[in-house]
Amino acid sequence: MTKKNIVVVGTQWGDEGKGKIVDLLTDRVAAVVRFQGGHNAGHTLVIGNQKTVLHLIPSGILREKVACFIGNGVVLSPEALTKEVTQLEATGLPVKNRLKISEACPLILDYHVALDQAREIARGNKAIGTTGRGIGPAYEDKVARRGLRAGDFKNMPLFKEKLASALEYHNFMITNYYKSEAVDFDKQWVKCEQYAKLIVPMLADIPNLIDGYNREGKNLMFEGAQGTLLDIDHGTYPYVTSSNTTAGSASSGSGIGPCELDYVLGITKAYATRVGGGPFPTELDYDVATDKGDEIGKILGTRGHEFGATTGRQRRCGWFDAVALRRSAQINGLTGVCLTKLDVMDTLAEIKVCTHYILNGEKIYLPPASAEEYDLVEPQYTTLKGWQKPTVGCSSWEDLPVEAQKYIRFLEKEMGVEVSILSTGPDRSETLVIKDPFEN
């Protein structure tokens, strides 16, 4: 078998189940690479009775023989990293000797968090719905070329000068424009001295490590965060994240050449969810706090446990949107799809799929470019019969209820991409591999 470098991306608005699938496939790779985002991602893994939520460290960390890399495209919170390493090592899992971090990772520090939260408060009812963890401001500093990077921890006297300059700039905005409390330099500096002790030993030349594995013919996995429809360029702007979440950023965010990427696996829920603000044409509005709203939305949210792994916020739920998925397939160049949470729909008598929109009286089969137009679209549905039988535990295609098979085939036709993996539960074992990405 020839080596395969596989990119795993979310095709919707995040929370598709990427962590589980990366964990499932990592027993056949030498390393897993995170290439964008930050600790705003929450990847939940369930193995037996053990539940693990990872926000920053690649999901391959649960496989003791797999190396884990954090690439230059990731904005790194030293505070979040410290907590995650401590929690994992408390369980007996070796982390520090297996985790390598790019020196080019921009750092998320206290002033980024303060700025992020102050902005969301100032936006009021027009808030984007960020996690408030400093992701956007850290990416801003990167592009403005004023950010501190992980490699700066190697020279702490110079780091101190850069930190003072950064705080002077950001505190001016925080106190004068947003009328919030300034971030204290001394407190931040003390924290950074401790962060350096943890991070410097893990710094590495990630592109060179990746190149070495490629030359040895070893498989690699590139783990995306969030989802395609949250991409800063291709998503429902401005209701997006601050990074490129699509397959192309696996190259720029890690240092691997694009021609070395062999397979793009798009993780796709059997229905749709979204956290925070922004357009969501197929939404089935339900409010868990008041227990009011659409009954199907309630079923999807309850059976699917649709609460954010990072923030705990209720996810908005809706029918599968094939219009959005067509765009995701185009942008990512999907080789195959992993369909997750099929079991959540086991009790439904009827299931709807959005096949196209009506915008200004015309049919459209791809999403509009602007969020304003997105708000105006009218989703058009095809209704399919539900299977109303359990899919959990199905070990082969033939074991699936006939109506479930028909649903999957219908989605394949609408997306233009085959389903290669099927997830019917949160556990690693509750997965059906139809076409092995490593062999196709």
Residues 278 and 250 in one domain: no
423 and 284 belong to one structural domain: yes
Q: Check if the beta carbon of residue 74 is closer than 8 Å to that of residue 105.
A: yes
Whether 251 and 273 share a structural domain: no
Could you list the residue range(s) of the whole structural domain that residue 195 is in? 110-199
Residues 167 and 315 in one domain: no
Q: What is the CATH number of the domain that holds 407?
A: 3.90.170.10
- The label of the residue with tokens 């950010």 reads 147
Strand partners, 64: none
Catalytic annotation, pick one of 39, 43, 112, 170: 43
Q: Is residue 91 part of a domain?
A: yes
β 320-321/350-359 pair status: parallel
Specify the number of domains making up the chain: 3
Do 272 and 389 have their domain in common?
Answer: yes
Task: Let me know if 321 is a catalytic residue.
Answer: no
Query: How many CA atoms lie within 13 Å of 172's alpha carbon, on the beta-carbon side?
Result: 5
Q: Are both 173 and 275 inside the same structural domain? A: no
pLDDT, mean of each 10-residue run, the chain (440 residues) = 90 88 89 92 64 83 92 96 91 92 98 89 68 88 96 98 96 91 95 97 98 97 94 94 95 96 97 92 90 91 79 86 98 97 96 98 96 95 97 90 98 98 86 91
43 catalytic? Reply is: yes
* Nearest-angstrom CA–CA distance, 244 and 169: 26
pLDDT digits (tens, 9 = 90+) for 101-152: 999 999 999 999 999 888 887 776 666 666 778 999 999 999 999 999 999 9
Residue 174: which CATH number?
1.10.300.10
Q: Enter the tokens of residue 382.
A: 């095809």
Phi and psi for 269 in degrees, rounded to 5?
Answer: -70, 150
Residue 233's domain is classified under what CATH number?
Answer: 3.40.440.10
The CA distance from 31 to 370, in Å, is 38
76 and 216 part of one domain: yes
**Which residues face 339 on adjacent strands?**
268, 422
If you ran DSSP here, which 8-state letter would residue 272 be given?
A: E
Q: Out of 15, 231, 343, 427, pick the active-site residue.
A: 15
d(CA 118, CA 385) in angstroms, rounded, equals: 47
Percent of the chain predicted with pLDDT > 70: 95
281 and 251 in one domain? no
Average pLDDT, the chain: 92
**Strand partners of residue 283:** 318
**pLDDT (tens digit per residue) in 354-399:** 999 999 999 999 999 999 999 999 999 999 999 999 999 788 999 9
pLDDT of residue 188: 97
- pTM listed for this prediction: 0.93
Task: Check whether residue 256 and residue 383 sit in a common domain.
Answer: no
